[in-house]
A and B are shown apart, each in its own frame.
Chain A
Amino acid sequence: MKTIEVNKIDVGYANELIIKNLSISIPSNKITTIIGPNGCGKSTLIKTIARILNVKGGAVFLEGEEIHKVDTKEIAKRMAILPQTAEAPGGLTVYELISYGRFPYKKGMGSLRKEDYEYINWAVDVTGLTEVQNRAISALSGGQRQRVWIAMALAQGTDTLVLDEPTTYLDLAHQLDILLLLERLNKEEGRTIIMVLHDLNHASRFSHYMIAMRDGEVVTDGTPEEVMTCANLQQVFQIDAHLARCPHSANPICLSYQLCQAEKASACCSINSASKAYHQTASG
């Protein structure tokens, strides 16, 4: 079952196409992560999936319907998005911002109904914001703010969540905190999550499905096991990666890396002894 089908899309600004003839399917009820170097088009792809950008050719289908043609409010009931640089007016309270997630369900000036309050309260609760729900957003830390935006997206009550670099600008603990929240939403509620991440190890640890892009094209896609190989990372990021096993998910992670130099390439391409040593110290 595929939630989103991207069918031969062309996307770009002015005369310059960033993405040409790209097709990809995104599975339902899974966490999908798009990775790739700066300027590879991953943000463009996710913005197109989120209908922030228009296609110049091809089409994106959400549950079989063409996303740029269906009423945008209807889409907003099925797919919530969290843009990369979401910034709210500082004086808005947490609860107020989260309540805007119910906009797609409102008619005219209509005020919130009981069902809306239930969704909002649930979103506040599940993101652990109960304590701060009446504070001004300006009084929150970066990690809490990101939770507020996620809560707003959750209040939309959609099956699909699209997030563009949800962990950027957060410190290590807060990054993990956000990803664990997303993982929980996927596991417990079966939500489809599509996101762009910069951190390969996070991508590998939390995703069911990965898409690696370079120069506006999908280089490879599949499970973390299939995507996180030395050869792929070399092709996508031009790095020589030392891979190891994540002690938490058992998926491959990148322990350290060198910039690629053509003649030395593939010297270290395997989940090598370094990782074994790592595992021994980790378990012992």
Chain B
Amino acid sequence: MNEQEELKEVKKTVRPIRGVIILTGGSLLLLLSLMLAVSLGAADIQLKTVWQAIFQFDPDLQQHQIIREIRFPRILGAAIVGSCFAVSGALMQGMTRNPLADSGLLGLNAGAVFMLACCFAFFPDLPYLYMILFSFLGAALGAGIVYGVGSLSKNGLTPIRLVLAGAAVSALLGALSEGIALYYEIGQDLAFWYAGGISGTSWNHLQIITPWLLLALAVAMTLSHSITLLSLGEEVAVGLGTKTGRVKLTASIIIVILAGLAVSVVGAVSFVGLIVPHIVRWFMGYDYRWIIPGTIIYGALLVVLADLAARIISPPHEMPIGALIALLGVPFFLYLARKGGGMV
């Protein structure tokens, strides 16, 4: 009896404590992997030099230059991209109760790439700030078409059906992007967007992205409780007084912004938004007030590590990180699909 009561006490408090531990642990891991990522690569740099490059910057040293101008933006870019994809995936999964939701699988990424291709073809000198806006628009377009195609089917939108629609629409938009690239001879510009690569990220990009990112993440956090309720089902959420229409609209805008941002940096990388929320849920439970911060950290961690791996597997060549993440993502997807797409 006593034992039982003790057990209850422990369990009631276990989630928040566990959550804090997992968030702190994740932050430390992320910090560690960021440092590793800065020091390892085509040119190995000692951690001490990294330290100096931050705090005692000497513009004459080539290594300091590499660190400041190439590695830092690239690695921060990787972290940002990871958070963006992961949070957009978590929001989609929670809001639509679709365990297979991911910006890559549901056509948002392909849509964003398509719009970027159009940018390159028709407005080649467009500043990055405006390209991002087109990227948002593209993500919205992709999602719109996928949901449109999906809801044409008579038996309604099931997760698998949406993924199928996503694959078809992505293939179509991909082909169109490639056609545009060929016709306007912009294949070089677009190449890294297909495969996924962060090597081109500059401070300038990060400066433009960061305000969007912070805004989107802040809104995602404020929505998190309502997303939890939506994950219980629309009717339950209404019964509890959630303004479901408003929440869904806001969340959709945030999802499009996050996916669009990430694609504008790294290209159409799938599966980050699929994998990370599932793993975070496994550890932290089903409350999106924990899941959202968890996906911010672990999404960043995954992509930073993937980018690191991409650089050190066969230097000086770089693997496309999209392919590396797919190595994890495809088996994970098959596992989830086999499980019957259990509840989110």
Residues of A participating in the B interface, judged by any CB pair closer than 8 Å: 47, 50-52, 71-77, 80-83, 85-93, 95-97, 100-101, 103-104, 106, 108-109, 133-134, 153, 156, 162
| Beta-carbon contact of A90 and B243 below 8 Å | no
| Beta-carbon contact of A156 and B240 below 8 Å | yes
Residues of B within 8 A of A95 (CB): 12
* Interchain Cβ contacts under 8 Å between A and B, 7 examples: A72-B243, A74-B241, A89-B344, A103-B242, A108-B222, A109-B289, A134-B7
| Beta-carbon contact of A52 and B238 below 8 Å | yes
| Beta-carbon contact of B222 and A92 below 8 Å | no
| Beta-carbon contact of B343 and A85 below 8 Å | no
Q: State the CA gap A228–B74 with chains docked (Å).
A: 74
Q: State the CA gap A156–B242 with chains docked (Å).
A: 13
| Beta-carbon contact of A104 and B241 below 8 Å | yes
| Beta-carbon contact of B12 and A89 below 8 Å | no
- Does B101 lie at the interface of the complex (its beta carbon under 8 Å from any beta carbon of A)? no
Q: Is the interface of B mostly helix, strand, loop or mixed?
A: helix
Task: Name the interface size band of chain B.
Answer: 20 to 34
Q: State the CA gap A104–B286 with chains docked (Å).
A: 19
Over the window 97-138 of chain B, the binary record of Cβ atoms lying under 8 Å from chain A Cβ atoms (1 yes, 0 no) is 000000000000000000000000000000000000000000
| Beta-carbon contact of A87 and B243 below 8 Å | no
| Beta-carbon contact of A86 and B238 below 8 Å | no
| Beta-carbon contact of A86 and B235 below 8 Å | yes
Distance in angstroms from A84 CB to nearest chain B CB is 8
Distance in angstroms from A209 CB to nearest chain B CB is 22
| Beta-carbon contact of B225 and A109 below 8 Å | yes
- Does B264 lie at the interface of the complex (its beta carbon under 8 Å from any beta carbon of A)? no
Residues of B within 8 A of A92 (CB): 285-286
Which of B8, B11, B241, B344: most chain A Cβ within 10 A? Answer: B241
Q: State the CA gap A74–B243 with chains docked (Å).
A: 11
Using a CB-CB cutoff of 8 Å, which residues 1-56 of chain B contact chain A?
7-8, 11-12, 15
Q: State the CA gap A47–B236 with chains docked (Å).
A: 11
- Does B295 lie at the interface of the complex (its beta carbon under 8 Å from any beta carbon of A)? no
| Beta-carbon contact of B239 and A96 below 8 Å | no
| Beta-carbon contact of A90 and B342 below 8 Å | yes
Q: State the CA gap A246–B241 with chains docked (Å).
A: 39
B8 — nearest CB in chain A belongs to which residue? A134
Q: State the CA gap A256–B15 with chains docked (Å).
A: 52
The answer, among A76, A90, A93, A134, for a CB contact under 8 Å with B239, is A76
5 pairs of A and B residues whose beta carbons are closest in the complex: A76-B241, A83-B235, A73-B241, A81-B239, A134-B11
| Beta-carbon contact of B236 and A133 below 8 Å | no
Q: State the CA gap A179–B107 with chains docked (Å).
A: 47
Instruction: List 6 other contacts, CB 8 Å, given A52-B234, A109-B224.
Output: A72-B242, A87-B233, A91-B286, A100-B232, A109-B225, A134-B11
Q: State the CA gap A49–B229 with chains docked (Å).
A: 20
- Does B228 lie at the interface of the complex (its beta carbon under 8 Å from any beta carbon of A)? yes
Q: State the CA gap A52–B244 with chains docked (Å).
A: 10
